[in-house]
Amino acid sequence: HLDAASIAHKRRIELGHPAETIVRCAEEEHCDLIVLAEPKPGAVREWLMRNAGIAVASAASVLVHFAGVPVVIAK
């Protein structure tokens, strides 16, 4: 989709904690914006939220707090 819209981008594969890795890569690439999709919560996360009242932070929610650039989260 990015190619079709003529939006500059670079594919990169990294290993590590998702939020920390995304922030590090964004800094290394001098990104102006981070865009990512937040998937539906898995069965365990959904059960914890519904039955135990426990919210587990997703990579997207952590990024919002630690990224040095704006973060857009698509659902």
**Tokens (6 digits) for 25:** 């890569």
Amino acid letter for position 21: T
pLDDT for res 1: 85
Q: What is the pLDDT along the chain (75 residues), one digit of tens a residue?
A: 889 999 888 889 999 988 899 999 999 999 999 988 876 767 777 777 778 776 666 777 788 888 999 999 887
Half-sphere exposure of 53 (CA within 13 A, CB side): 0
Distance CA 51, CA 46 (A): 8
Q: In which element (H, E) is residue 51 found?
A: none
pLDDT for res 30: 93
Distance CA 63, CA 7 (A): 22
Query: In terms of pTM, does the model score above 0.85?
Result: no
